[in-house]
């Protein structure tokens, strides 16, 4: 009897663990339309898969919780910020922006490890005039097509800290008509400059030493 009970417990535990990992792997949220009101993305509902260009409209704030993974479905897709982004990760739980073949947060393209991510496989995140953003402990990687920077600050007000900008097919960050605060970031494997200053910037100190 005892043996049967033990056997039963083992089987139940096995299926419990199997179910947990199955549902974990399958969880994701598809984003295919603009963000028009205040919205929160959570780590548990992610990865968030962007399947078309997405704009956060003026007046709307997108809050992204620590540990959330955001994936762009193909090389043409951009995230445009006209409203606000509040993305505050932690040292242990970065917020990741990456491409669909990156299995961070789960095998979103359903091929196991048959493919691996590469630079230029999504577009860019752009902070347009009138936008605001706080990005702390974010990891932005594998974007850049066909822009001048996988993160573009074009008239927006951005604070970018404690973050990693890497594997862009172009520049890591492009700054235009803007004066973002950027401190304690890590830049590597970007095909062009870590940061490029285009014309029209508003002050003479947009590029602090890091």
Three-state SS at 39: strand
Task: Tell me if 106 contacts Ca ion by CB under 5 A.
Answer: no
Using Cβ positions, the residue closest to Ca ion within the complex turns out to be: 107
Instruction: Mark residues 188-207: x for contact with Ca ion by CB under 5 A, - for none.
Output: --------------------
Residue with Cβ nearer Ca ion (104 or 207): 104
Q: Burial-class residue 71 by CB neighbours within 10 Å (0-12, 13-18, 19+).
A: buried
Asked if residue 111 binds Ca ion (CB under 5 A), the reply is: yes
Measured CA to CA, the distance from residue 8 to residue 21 in angstroms comes to 20
Helix, strand, or coil (residue 81)? strand
The answer to whether residue 179 forms part of the interface with Ca ion (CB under 5 A) is no
Positions in 74-103 near Ca ion (CB under 5 A): 103
* Residue 28 sits in the site that holds Ca ion (CB under 5 A): no
Q: Which stretch binds Ca ion (CB under 5 A): 39-47, 107-115, 137-145, 184-192?
A: 107-115
Cβ contact 143:124 at 8 Å: yes
Residue with tokens 């970018």: 160
Q: Which is nearer to Ca ion, 25 or 197 (CB)?
A: 25
Tokens of 121: 């496989």
In whole angstroms, the minimum distance from the beta carbon of 2 to Ca ion comes to: 43
Phi, psi values for residue 83, rounded to 5°: -95, -120
Minimum CB separation of residue 80 from Ca ion in Å reads: 27
Q: Which of 57, 54, 85 is nearest to 160 (CA)?
A: 85
Look-up of token digits 């479905």: 73
Q: Which of 98, 190 has the CB closer to Ca ion?
A: 98
Q: Please state the closest distance from residue 89 (CB atom) to Ca ion, in A.
A: 23
Site stretch for Ca ion (CB under 5 A), options 53-61, 87-95, 105-113, 171-179: 105-113
Residue pair 71/49 in contact by the 8 Å Cβ criterion: yes
Is 107 a binding residue for Ca ion by CB under 5 A? The answer is yes
Q: Find the part of the chain contacting Ca ion (CB under 5 A) among 62-70, 77-85, 106-114, 174-182.
A: 106-114
Is the distance from CB of 192 to CB of 169 less than 8 angstroms? no
Residues in contact with Ca ion by CB under 5 A are 103, 107, 109, 111
């Amino acid at each position: 009897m005892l043996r049967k009970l033990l056997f039963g417990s083992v089987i139940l535990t096995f299926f419990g663990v199997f179910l947990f990992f199955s549902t974990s792997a399958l969880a994701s949220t598809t984003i295919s339309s603009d963000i028009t009101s205040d919205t929160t993305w959570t780590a548990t509902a992610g990865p968030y898969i962007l399947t078309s260009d997405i704009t956060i409209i003026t007046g709307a704030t997108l809050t992204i919780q620590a540990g959330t993974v955001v994936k762009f479905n193909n090389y043409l897709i951009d995230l445009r910020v006209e409203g606000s982004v509040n993305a505050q990760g932690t040292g242990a739980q970065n917020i990741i922006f990456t491409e669909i073949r990156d299995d961070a947060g789960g095998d979103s393209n359903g091929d196991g490890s048959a493919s691996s991510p590469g630079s230029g496989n999504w577009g860019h995140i752009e902070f347009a005039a009138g936008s605001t953003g706080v990005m702390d402990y974010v990891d932005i990687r594998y974007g850049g097509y066909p822009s001048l920077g996988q993160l573009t600050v074009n008239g927006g007000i951005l604070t970018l800290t404690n973050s990693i900008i890497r594997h862009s097919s172009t520049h890591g960050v492009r700054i235009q008509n803007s004066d973002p605060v950027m401190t304690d970031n890590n830049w590597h494997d970007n095909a062009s400059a870590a940061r490029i200053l285009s014309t029209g910037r508003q002050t003479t100190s947009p590029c602090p030493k890091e």
